[in-house]
Amino acid sequence: MKRASTRFWLCASACAFLSSSALAQWPPRLYRIDDKYSPRPIRNNELTLAGLHPGKSTKTRASALYKPFGAPRSEDAASFWIDSDSCEKVTLDFDEKGVIQTIHVGINVFNGQKSCQLVGPGVGWKTGKGLTLRASCADVAKLYGEPDSRSPSTKNGQPLELLYYAFDWAGPDVPQVMEVVCTAEKEGKPGRVVEITLAAGSL
């Protein structure tokens, strides 16, 4: 066989091999969330709110932490503290042993008082990952990923949006549920966070 013919058959054989390899990989692989090289969506859980860990922190710890706001008040078997300047309120539910089960922070922006607006500084009560009251609702998904559900809500006639996160995938030793309430989007601008709840168990 002539040298030119030998080169032709070698080239043809190589092309046939490459074609068969490509066909063997068709259709293209669809990566799953647990694949090593597939892109992963943001998915973060949360441990603390307002400096406390539901399921672990105690009423004694809360009283020491919130001492600047005075003695705790009671409402529906829960204890709460209010900052009159910012209208922010933190409410705690305890079990029979004094361990905090639910932490709720909120701002009353619907009572008509000029001092209770979605502008200006607040107390600084925030989640462990830095989500605060008055923050843009768009920040919630940036920190924790898309919620398990979004649902419309209202308070004193004002339209709101409830974002629900379940953290049971992170194990039983972390808070299991977080809810974030935002004002409704308006004129293309995202709403503002007005309530955050973090609970050791279901809500």
Whether 128 maps to a domain, the answer reads yes
Whether 31 maps to a domain, the answer reads no
Structural domain tally of the chain? 1
What pLDDT, in 10s, does the model give residues 173-195? 999 999 999 999 888 888 999 99
Is a pLDDT exceeding 90 seen at residue 78? Answer: yes
By the 8 A CB rule, do 127 and 139 touch? Answer: no
What pLDDT, in 10s, does the model give residues 61-77? 999 999 999 999 998 88
Whether 110 maps to a domain, the answer reads yes
Whether 40 maps to a domain, the answer reads no
pTM summary value: 0.77
Binned at pLDDT 50, 70 and 90, residue 30 comes out as very low
Domain extent at residue 66:
59-199
Whether 173 maps to a domain, the answer reads yes
What is the amino acid identity at position 84? S
- Choose the weakest-confidence range: 9-18, 66-75, 99-108: 9-18
What is the H or E stretch that residue 27 is in? none
Rounded Cα–Cα distance for residues 190 and 164 (Å): 17
Rounded Cα–Cα distance for residues 84 and 96 (Å): 30
From the CB of residue 185, how many other CB atoms can be counted at a distance below 10 Å?
13
Whether 54 maps to a domain, the answer reads no
